[in-house]
Amino acid sequence: MRQLLRPALTLFVLLSVVTGLVYPWLLTRAGGALFPDQAQGSLVRHDGKIIGSSLIGQSFTDPGLFWGRPSATAPTPYNAAASSGSNLGPTNPALVTAIQGRIDALKAADPANTLPVPVDLVTASASGLDPHISLAAAYYQVGRVAAARGLSPDAVRALVETHKEARQWGFLGEPRVNVLALNLALLASLPGASTPIASTDKAK
């Protein structure tokens, strides 16, 4: 029995050290060296302060800012510690009610807008943390943002075009816009404006 236990315990301790300590340490060091931005959470900084992450959306309700996708995380939107979707099926009346409420809110914020409401502005993503919106969702908001900021729609649309991101690796997903990056550019374009975005409505 001792002849069996000794090598088994030795192997257990050795593998525990290698796979539980050495391997994670090496990967952490390699990740930090090769991909320092991603390893630190892809944080977005302005004037030396962290104002968000390019990977996690924020909740904006100011009509003068672009709004992101709805978030179903609890207890607050875009809660990175509780990433989840609503898990409501397409036949669930609660989903229909929620979508209709979001459509009504968008139309109330921009009554003159006759464009079709893009689906990603009224449906939550599976993670609840999506930092991007489609180009259609960004263009849909151009009129409202321009009116609220006293800018021409063409100028705001040009900002969207400038911050358009292509498909990942050229073939995955669809062209999109990072909402935080777009809002930072929008505020930076205003005469004498600062860009103190941190979370909901702190960019007013």
Closest CA to 194 of 4, 107, 184: 184
Name the pLDDT band for 203 (thresholds 50, 70, 90): very low
Per domain, the residue ranges of the chain are: 1-40, 42-188
What local confidence, expressed as pLDDT, does residue 204 receive? 41
Mean pLDDT computed over 43-56: 86
Question: Which position has the higher pLDDT, 37 or 114?
Answer: 114
Mean pLDDT computed over 121-145: 96
pTM: 0.80
How is residue 167 written in tokens? 């498909």
- Residue-wise pLDDT for 134-187, tens only, equals 999 999 999 999 999 999 999 999 999 999 999 988 888 899 999 999 999 999
Distance CA 6, CA 1 (A): 9
Kindly report the backbone phi and psi dihedral angles of residue 111, in degrees, each rounded to the nearest multiple of 5, phi listed first: -60, -30
Name the pLDDT band for 194 (thresholds 50, 70, 90): low
Distance CA 39, CA 32 (A): 5
What does the H/E/C string look like for the chain?
A: CHHHHHHHHHHHHHHHHHHHHHHHHHHHHHHHHHCHHHHCCCEEEECCEEEEECCECCCCCCCCCCCCCCCCCCCCCCCHHHCCCCCCCCCCHHHHHHHHHHHHHHHHHCCCCCCCCCHHHCCCCCCCCCCEEEHHHHHHCHHHHHHHHCCCHHHHHHHHHHCEECCECCCECCCEEEHHHHHHHHHHCCCCCCCCCCCCCCCC
- Residue-wise pLDDT for 64-97, tens only, equals 999 999 999 989 999 989 998 888 898 999 999 9
